[in-house]
Structure 1
Amino acid sequence: MRHTTVLLACLLLAGAATGCGSSGGDDKSAAKPSASSTAGNDARYLKAARQIKFNGTPTDGDLLLYPDLWCKGLDAGHSVKWLFGIHDGGLYPVGEDWGTAKADADTLLVAGVKVYCPKNSGAVLDELRASGEY
Structure 2
Amino acid sequence: MRYTTVLLLATSLALAGCSSGSTDTKSPASSSPKISKETRYLTAARDITYNGTPSDDELLELPPQWCSALEAGHSVEWMFDMTGGGDLYPVGMEWGTARPDANELLLVGVKSYCPAQAAAVTTELRGSGQY
What pairs with 1:5-44 in structure 2 (closer than 5 Å)?
Answer: 40-44=36-40
Report the 3-state secondary structure (helix = DSSP H, G, I; strand = E; otherwise coil) of the residue aligned with 1:98.
Answer: coil
| Residue 126 (structure 1) aligned to one of 97, 105, 123 | 123
Greater than 3 Å deviation, 4+ residue runs:
none
Rounded to whole Å, the distance in 2 between the matches of 1:45 and 1:69 is: 14
Q: TM-score, with normalisation over the residues of structure 2? A: 0.72
Q: Which residue of 1 aligns with 2:107?
A: 110
Q: How far apart in 1 are the matches of 2:95 and 2:47?
A: 15
- The aligned amino acid for 1:76 is A
Structure with the greater alpha carbon radius of gyration:
2
Confirm whether residue 50 of structure 1 aligns to residue 46 of structure 2: yes
Q: Which amino acid aligns with 2:69?
A: G
Q: Does 1:69 align with 2:65?
A: yes
Within 1, Cα distance between the matches of 2:130 and 2:70?
Answer: 19
Relative contact order, CA 8 A, sep 6+: which one is greater? 1
Q: How does 1:73-84 map to 2 (within 5 A)?
A: 73-84=69-80
Cα distance in 2, alignment partners of residues 63 and 112 from structure 1: 9
Aligned-partner Cα distance in 1 for 2:114–2:121: 11
Per the TM alignment, residue 133 of structure 1 is displaced from its structure 2 partner at its CA by 1.1
Query: What's the Cα RMSD here?
Result: 1.4
Letter in 2 for 1:60: D
Distance 1:120 1:133 in 2: 17
Instruction: Give the unaligned 5+ runs of structure 2.
Output: 1-32
Consecutive unaligned residues of structure 1, counting only runs of 5 or more, are: 1-35
Question: Number of aligned pairs?
Answer: 98
Distance of 2:106 and 2:67 partners within structure 1: 10
Separation in 2 of the partners of 1:118 and 1:52?
19
SS at match of 1:94: coil
